[in-house]
Structure 1
Amino acid sequence: MNKSFSVVLALFFLAQLVSAQSMSNQEMEKKIDEILNQLTLREKVDLCHAQSKFSTAGVARLGIPEIWMSDGPHGVRGEINWNDWGYAGWTNDSITAFPALTALAASFNPELSYEYGFALGEEARYREKDILLGPGVNIYRTPYNGRNFEYMGEDPYLASIMVVPYIKGVQKNGVAACVKHYALNNQEHDRHVIDVKADDRTLHEIYLPAFKAAVQQGGVWSLMGAYNQYNGQFATHNKVLMNDILKGDWNFDGVVVSDWGSTHSTMEAALNGLDIEMGTFTNGLTFSMNFPYHDYNLANPFYEKIKSGEIPESVVNDKARRILRLMLRTNMNPNRPLGRMNNQEHSDVARKVATEGIVLLKNENNFFPLKETKGLTIAVIGENATKPMTIGGGSSELKAKYEISPLAGIQNRFADATILHAMGYSSGPSAYGRVIESPLNQDSLFQNAVETAAKADIVLFVGGLNKNFQQDCEGGDRISYDLPFNQNKLLKAVLEVNSSVGVVLVSGNAVAMPWLKDVNAVMQAWYLGSEAGNAIADVISGDVNPSGKLPFSFPININDNAAHSFGEESYPGVNKTQEYKEGILVGYRWFDTKKIKPQFSFGFGLSYTTFAYSNMQTDKKAYGKDDEVKVSFTLTNTGNVAGAEIAQLYVSDPKSSVMRPVKELKGFDKVMLQPGESKEVSITVPVSSFAYYAVDSKSWVVEPGDFILQVNSSATDNQLKKKIKVN
């Protein structure tokens, strides 16, 4: 039998047998061995680096396909040119834009997270993508981080619970999710050079759990390295992060992809766990072909070092094996579904995520919902009422088939009212990496908004941030905690002429609220994608009862935030180095321990109904370290409308040999109740989750003694409490 025929035969059997569902790991590894034996050294190396902006080479002579990637934690990005970041001008790449991951996290609904991931995976599959570059699970450390809107909040447990079903939903379609940015990429300022100093306990308790869950529970097929350094070595080829933890302790069997421009060394990339290198030397921007793809660190330099014996061939074999394994799960899996795009089901999922993610923060005198609006004049004030939010923001920007603006949603829902609109301010056009001033006259916009507000019965101020540079945008952090573009001044002027004002904040970050006591209501609306306006109108009208809870704390002042409280050495860093001086006290852990009152706490969110908690029980009074604790209680809807409540279980260790936060989230349940209805709710948590990370032994330790279990409606609102003993 000649060699070429044997290859064809091997690939024939591969096509017959390979399937992510039916092929055992042993069979898969055997097939990978067969393919590896047919590859030349050059072909193996060429699997390990980009051939275009968003693809890597296949092996044409063997029928091994290229790998195609796309940005998109919230939707599949429009098609990009081969060698530059310009859009390719396709007419068939407009997609459904899903809400940003802050909104998904605010839903506290893992089942909905699966629906989100599955719908997004279907769209990626239809667009013939093999790797979807998302989700992001970097922890919310500072309200200034330009990419917080892409992530799942400040709590590692919440992020862990929400990321797993998202990954499973995407990968059900034969598309690899790519969890990012691993690790400690918690700011955009100096992201390419900043050296993060975080102690091991902080790393393992706060910044790694969601990645660990993605790998060990979500079975994620790929992972993206981060730009920043960790303890003096770049994260994308950091020995501790990649070799020791990810591929060692966690036994990750997937592919590590560099962020675009995050690779700096052939030797470190080769030996410290990077598998596919994208965008090198250009920060993702190829300015000329003087540095083509074959000069990447894992291209010709890698090939030459293997040939010379400086790097053993086993190194590239491991990378090729991982890449082929990913292919067998995606583009070489004959049972892969075909995908779908822009169907009604996807729009429905986007709208459901949006409505469940909206958080009602204040509702004085039941300002919301707006029930009787016939004959009323409603002034909708603010640029965010009409500004598209699917474009801009950096790599997560989308080419949406449609986007319902807040103004359009309000106009459609309240057709019996007179709707007026005034921008009030103009932020200018979106441009990546720079701020472009608006050509519009700001004074005229301001005055027109005040005059419009004076004519109305009700004012809906739709403000917040946007996707422009130095707002919620990749490549730079915010420069102020205040609302930009004189919105505070505008709100004050509006309140002087109309006291009936509700604020709808469109943002992915907390903002200062010096006007909070003066407005009637505040609604946190996030970036909600294609169905944004419809979802906002659903909640404003009361067609949907808000049930979202904040996935991160809102400080009153920026220096109340833990990272900012320690000065520049902690954020944004000094001399390209920063120290996470707050350690494990991130978010509500900081506010609790330091007894600082937040503006709004983690887990907080109002409803149009009310809930009562009672009768807390545990299945035992004492537990062993391998046991599970079953907590039960009664939850009652004591109001007049149906609604969902998110009950949160926090655990405290009041007497510990190490410093511990006052409490930590360890469980939650979202419960739907009709008016007057009661349900017994059970939340089960393993005693092992009570552990802290012991640095000396590099292990998780549950100390014996008393633990306090709290059932809360938010991090600051305790409803029920019970003590248990751990032996």
Structure 2
Amino acid sequence: MTVRTPRTPPFRDPQLPFAKRVDDLLARLTPEEKVSFLHQFAPAVERLGLAAFRTGQEALHGVAWMGPATVFPQAVGLGATWNDDLVRRVGEAVSKEARAMRARDDRVGLNVWAPVVNLLRHPLWGRNEEGYAEDPKLTSAIAVAYTRGLRGDHPVYWRTAPVLKHWLAHNNETRRDTTSSSVRPRVLHEYDLRAFREAVEAGAVAGVMPAYNLVNGRPNHVSPYLREHLRTWTDQDLLVCSDAGAPSNLVDSEHYFATHEEATAAALLAGVDSFTDHGTDPANTVARVRGALEQGLLTEADVDAAVRRQLSVRFRLGEFDPDHDPHAATGDFDTPEHRALARKAAEQAVVLLRNDGLLPLAPGTRVAVVGLLADECKLDWYSGTLLHRSTPLEGLYERFGAERVEFAEGVDRIRLRTADGTFLRVPPAEAASDHVRGAEGALDPALLAGRTDLPPLTTDATGTELALVDWGEGVLTLRAPDGRYLSVADDGYVRASADQPGGWVVQETFRLEPHGSGHLLRHLGTGRHVCVAAEGVKVAEEDPAVFEPVVTERGEEAVARAAARADVVLVVAGNDPHLGGRETADRTTLRLPEHQERLLRAARTANRDTALVLVSSYPYAIEPAHLRAVLWTAHGGQAAGTALARVLAGDVAPAGRLPQTWYEDDSDLPDLLDYDIIGSRQTYLYFEGTPLFPFGHGLSYTSFGYGDLAVRLDEDVVRVSFTVTNTGRATADEVAQLYTRAVNPSVPRPRRELAAHRRITLAPGERADLTFEVPLSAIEFWDVSRGRWRLEPGPYDLLVGTSSEDVRLRATLTLDGEPGAPRPVRERGLNAADFDEQSGIEIVDRARTTGDAVAPAPDRTGELLYRDCDFGTGVTRVSVEVAGEGTVGLSLDGGPSLTELTLRTPTSGPYDYTTLTAELTADGVHDVHLRLRGPLRLARVGFTG
């Protein structure tokens, strides 16, 4: 027990409530000290005994960037488990390792920036690997589980403090700091906000991080939604941490504010509490805050509010109570339990998409494992360093024996001949450095790009045979026979100096560009061409070398040989998480790269018993009909290969489920920047086509029967009970899924919507009785005519099954709700953004700080529809509140135009609104149609009698 002496300040007294302790500490800080706390790297305050503190420690699927740590499957793989309890245990293990690593290295932070709850709306998003699902219910369930694990279960002290990323509507890397996501109110409330809300309301979230993009024309870092929504969901202080460099973007790239002082003040007033900008140097942030204070844009009370929320997190982490913090001595790191959990998570993430009786593999099967990822254990940008490594090839060797497994990587092997007849040569490893290779000759895992102590490439008469892989769209990697990737360091020389492609700017990728009778070799990291100089091969602006690729073996030839000798062929394909789709780079197609399609065709031609194993961060469009089996798993971390081999052998029955729709073709996708999932019929919620594989899909090695459906309404909760029986011969997991559907909705509603799920394990013949409870609030929709949630009366389907399309049980329940009513537009008018349908419209910011308006998309005529508008006994005039210049036309019920209001003289700025009026005679209830032309903003429409 702490004994408080007269000299012990109240903030050090663990017997006092945190709020009083925060008040006391805040009062002791000087104005200068408080301002300094607003940067990500808050300095120590020695006179009060405060240590330095930084917000931010990446922990998406393990502790990242801080060296060796247990690496779990990517987030999308954790989503594919559909197993809340498992994900909670993963979060618990990650937080324990963060604490253990912190004890050895104070650079490891306890304010963890995880998980990502952005919904996987569009499968071409480069950061697809970071999210859990396209569905808000599944995403929030997995996020709640992970944050509870990260937080720990102590009632007072948190093991780590999770921050959700990225607020809000963030699904594109293309121009991500300048594009605006146009999010109508229904999509905002029913989709994008929902995943954040349920996680925050669960009580295990310390804060959020705003995204780089704008929403409805306004940067997320000055979003009024932080105040209007986020902070109303909980009484707990929530810490809002900016994304890296985003505060400066408000002026530098977005040009939203004229000065950094204005931008900093606006972000702080909107709710940003910690500024992640200019790396570890706080000088710019401090100067901007001081400038904003001097200009009267901020008050000390505004600074206090942000610092208070920071201190609240530090108290919850036990920083000021080391003798009472139950997590202070946590030392669990790379334990047998963590290793077993990593394997279990990887096993449960495997999704069996198709199986024509080929799997599980029979004992004694001779297996050819081929493909670019067959002997790879890939990491992504948010991975820690592997302590253990397991590739598919290694897992199959371990499970089946090396004598029954044949390997062919399938890379093209080439020599690059220069114009003078010589070839590029890679100096041998022993001549490069003593520590390039370990004691047993294996590549040192610490081998990284950027080294300058290795000799650059040269040329000679024979050269070096290089492994060439085309990862799609001409993006190539080149690898020496000993496994070293060609890379370029800051000095511009080309060396074989990397064990894998990686880094924020990847330095291991090239492109062959036709040039005359040969090719130029462009280095993509620098944008420069490769040239041959007397001192070695380097990249430069001038004098590029012309190369002729001399192919010594095609990858498909090696694959065909191995496939012909095997009983079963496993083609392991997919992506490298640092290439193609990744942070800063969206994909452009769902198709597999041509190189990998060639390998798949070669294997299938040589052996009909071919299975495709996709190891990837996102869905692909493939042709499964000619394949005996198809599996998908996200990059599975340190145990990926062992887990995959156990599933292929039948030691573990696959039970992963797809967390997002797999589409047949690129033509099924909307534009990447179209965030209106209702209008463009996106995700399984609204998609009206036939998916390649539907949301929730996943097969098993056994079969399950469903029955005994019972539904009853108890006050505000629908209880759905049913049984699941393992009717097959193997113990296996099943994921039971419950969906709801409004049968006769008055507005477009989801075709079906996930309401609950549960993953269970059943032995052969075993039965489980399941009950799901669905609050009526989960069936409501956002009524734009009233600006709030509403339960519509009528029949609702309750659908139980094994995927969103495989429904086994069905019941219909008729609910009493609140009937719809016409919009009282004579009394209330129309807020422009509260439309029912739109075409060619963008939602934009009505003012810098708050409110929405609408505008025609560039070079488009915008169409807006507002249904069931009640004009009462009659109106005689219409008014529009507009800015810019252009025309607003109005008609009723799709008839001819009744009036046009034209703003011919442009207003002085986008927020300088003026009101135009015109005569209009109408009474009763009608649909209002508006047509917008020209660069104008419409904020509101009014009607008077």
Q: Secondary structure, in 3 states, of the residue corresponding to 1:714?
A: coil
Match of 2:362?
371
In 2, Cα distance between equivalents of 1:218 and 1:386: 42
In 2, Cα distance between equivalents of 1:381 and 1:536: 14
Match of 2:458?
none
The amino acid across from 2:360 in the alignment is P
Are 1:317 and 2:388 counterparts? Answer: no
Match among 37, 42, 61 for residue 47 of structure 1: 37
Deviation at 1:16, TM superposition (A): 4.7
Match among 75, 97, 101 for residue 62 of structure 2: 75
Match of 1:503?
612
CA contact (8 A) 1:76 1:124 kept: yes
In 2, Cα distance between equivalents of 1:671 and 1:437: 47
CA contact (8 A) 1:121 1:169 kept: yes
Deviation at 1:559, TM superposition (A): 2.0
Give a deviation string over 1:72-124, Cα, whole Å, max 9, x none.
Answer: 20111233xxxxxxxxxxxxx31110111111111111111110110011111
Are 1:157 and 2:137 counterparts? Answer: yes
Match of 1:481?
590
Deviation at 1:579, TM superposition (A): 5.1
Q: Which protein is richer in strand relative to its size? A: 2
CA contact (8 A) 1:136 1:150 kept: yes
Deviation at 1:66, TM superposition (A): 2.3
Are 1:254 and 2:238 counterparts? Answer: yes
For structure 1, which runs of at least 5 residues remain unmatched after alignment? 80-92, 287-291, 565-569, 573-577
Counterparts in 2 of 1:400 and 1:16: CA distance versus 1, 3 Å:
farther
Match of 2:484?
none
Please say which structure displays the higher CA radius of gyration: 2
Counterparts in 2 of 1:581 and 1:135: CA distance versus 1, 3 Å:
closer
In 1, Cα distance between equivalents of 2:282 and 2:408: 50
In 2, Cα distance between equivalents of 1:682 and 1:295: 56
Match of 1:638?
727
Q: Secondary structure, in 3 states, of the residue corresponding to 1:99?
A: coil
In 1, Cα distance between equivalents of 2:112 and 2:304: 24
Give a deviation string over 1:688-715, Cα, whole Å, max 9, x none.
Answer: 2110112343321111222111112101
Deviation at 1:585, TM superposition (A): 4.1
Match of 1:137?
117
In 2, Cα distance between equivalents of 1:582 and 1:464: 31
Q: How does 1:541-690 map to 2 (within 5 A)?
A: 541-561=649-669, 564=670, 570-572=671-673, 580=676, 582-583=678-679, 585-591=681-687, 594=688, 596-620=689-713, 624=715, 627-690=716-779
Between the aligned residues of both structures, percent identity stands at 31
Give a deviation string over 1:396-430, Cα, whole Å, max 9, x none.
Answer: 13212122111111110111752111111335252
Deviation at 1:353, TM superposition (A): 1.1
Match of 1:343?
335
Match among 292, 297, 315 for residue 328 of structure 1: 315
Are 1:29 and 2:34 counterparts? Answer: no
CA contact (8 A) 2:110 2:161 kept: yes
Q: How does 1:262-277 map to 2 (within 5 A)?
A: 262-263=246-247, 264=250, 265-277=263-275
Match among 3, 14, 17 for residue 14 of structure 2: 17
Work out which structure has the larger RCO, using CA pairs closer than 8 Å and 6 or more positions apart in sequence. 1
The amino acid across from 1:109 in the alignment is N
Q: How does 1:265-414 map to 2 (within 5 A)?
A: 265-280=263-278, 292-296=281-285, 299-330=286-317, 331-334=319-322, 335-337=325-327, 338-339=329-330, 340-364=332-356, 366-373=357-364, 376-390=365-379, 393-394=380-381, 396-414=382-400
The amino acid across from 2:387 in the alignment is K
Q: How does 1:102-121 map to 2 (within 5 A)?
A: 102-121=76-95
- For the aligned residue pairs, the C-alpha RMSD in angstroms reads 2.1
The amino acid across from 2:509 in the alignment is I
Q: TM-score, normalised by structure 2?
A: 0.67
In 2, Cα distance between equivalents of 1:94 and 1:418: 33
CA contact (8 A) 2:197 2:233 kept: no
In 2, Cα distance between equivalents of 1:57 and 1:176: 19
Match of 1:60?
46
CA contact (8 A) 2:677 2:686 kept: no
Give a deviation string over 1:614-667, Cα, whole Å, max 9, x none.
Answer: 1211135xx65xx21111112111111111111111111112222211211111
Q: Secondary structure, in 3 states, of the residue corresponding to 2:771?
A: strand
In 2, Cα distance between equivalents of 1:325 and 1:249: 17
Match of 2:567?
457
Deviation at 1:349, TM superposition (A): 1.2
Match of 2:527?
none
Deviation at 1:372, TM superposition (A): 1.0
In 2, Cα distance between equivalents of 1:385 and 1:720: 40
The amino acid across from 1:33 in the alignment is D
For structure 2, which runs of at least 5 residues remain unmatched after alignment? 103-108, 153-157, 251-262, 412-468, 472-476, 478-499, 512-520, 522-548, 817-945
Match among 210, 227, 248 for residue 243 of structure 1: 227
The amino acid across from 1:633 in the alignment is F
Match of 1:219?
204
CA contact (8 A) 1:215 1:252 kept: no
In 2, Cα distance between equivalents of 1:344 and 1:327: 31
Aligned residues: 657
Deviation at 1:531, TM superposition (A): 0.8
Runs of 4+ that moved beyond 6 A: none
Q: Which protein is richer in helix relative to its size? A: 1
Counterparts in 2 of 1:668 and 1:400: CA distance versus 1, 3 Å:
same
The amino acid across from 1:77 in the alignment is A
CA contact (8 A) 1:67 1:130 kept: no
CA contact (8 A) 2:555 2:599 kept: no
Q: Secondary structure, in 3 states, of the residue corresponding to 1:589?
A: helix
Q: TM-score, normalised by structure 1?
A: 0.87
Match of 1:195?
180
Match among 51, 61, 72 for residue 98 of structure 1: 72
